[in-house]
Amino acid sequence: METSAEEIAVDIPDLIRIYKDGHFEKFHVPGSDIVPPGIDPSTGVNSKDVVYSPETNMFARLYIPKNATPTRKLPLLTFIHGGGFVIGTAASSLYHNFLNLLVSEANVAVVSVEYRLFPEFQLHIAYGDSWEAIKWVERHVNGIGPEPWLNEYVDFEKVFLAGDSAGANIAHQMAIRVGSNSLDGMRFQGAILLHPYFWGKERVGTESEWMEPTMIRYLDNIWDVLKPEGSPGLDDMLINPGMDPRIVSMGVSEILVCVAGDDFMRERDRNYKKLIEESGWKGKLEVVEHKGEGHVFFYNNLLSENAIALRTRVSAFINKT
């Protein structure tokens, strides 16, 4: 028997449908198929899955380039996947294929973080899992951690945070936590925010000129569903960095924000630069924009001109020192 529309409590197109009895359906998106780690035949990049939290069975997919050697330590990129906090996994072909290329081109080690998703878990769990993964990485600073690849190949003086969409939102929050917590022996040089997922009650930039009311309601509704208990709504610091006084003390020295010119989040991402600069933060923030592109376009065709340009810019950001 088909489920009637009356039984639907929440319907967010292309993301999730939640029913009144509590069960839910998550929508399948291209690239969500699970692929195993291993040696990538086209780049020679090697990867493996390692559990960073035995209590929750959360894992990270680790990547090292083909010619990794303990005699030449590599920068480390801690990458956090997107998916609206609802879908996505570090084991999907979407992220696996992208990171194989980035690792090869940037000559960087990567820890791609898996975290628990909504609605199985409340939103704050995603941030907590990501922080636990970072703390797990910290255990390797002196070369005696549980994971040999991190002990042998990583330069902990060159650590970067990164993520796309909701993952970039989490990476932003992790940069704030780094600034207020001691992580002995780890130097976080930068954060790379790829089309970060931010929102808010008031319109910014030219949003009021081009954004349709239906899109505004759609984005409002997403946060209304996701928001943790006690949240002030669209003025929550988790979704609206302009409401967060802690950004002045973010624990990275540089930030790279990548914007897509046709992204529904583009004004938020452009406005992020203004918010950070007005906060008094002492670091350097750069914005690169790809005209005519949509949200996380760089996964759709990895060899398109702008996708290559984005990875080249990220690689340069990591390796400029």
Amino acid at 245: P
Is 33 assigned a catalytic role?
no
Question: Looking up tokens 């699970």, which residue turns up?
Answer: 34
- Asked whether the beta carbons of 103 and 63 are under 8 A apart, the reply is yes
Is 104 assigned a catalytic role?
no
Q: Which two tokens stand for residue 309?
A: 């340009």
Q: Which two tokens stand for residue 245?
A: 């006084």
Q: Which two tokens stand for residue 203?
A: 């319109």
The catalytic position among 93, 249, 295, 304 is 295
- CA 124 from centre of chain: 15
Order of all β-strands in the sheet with 16-19: 8-12, 16-19, 24-26
Residue 158 backbone dihedrals phi, psi, to 5 degrees = -130, 75
What stretches of 147-292 show up as alpha helix (H) in DSSP?
Answer: 148-153, 166-180, 207-210, 213-226, 266-279
The catalytic position among 92, 112, 130, 165 is 165
- Asked whether the beta carbons of 149 and 64 are under 8 A apart, the reply is yes
Order of all β-strands in the sheet with 74-80: 46-53, 58-64, 109-113, 74-80, 154-164, 188-194, 254-260, 284-290
Is 165 assigned a catalytic role?
yes
According to DSSP, residue 183 is labeled -
- CA 195 from centre of chain: 9
The catalytic position among 236, 244, 263, 269 is 263
- CA 135/CA 128 separation, integer angstroms: 11
Q: Which two tokens stand for residue 35?
A: 């692929």
Active-site annotation, residues: 165, 263, 295
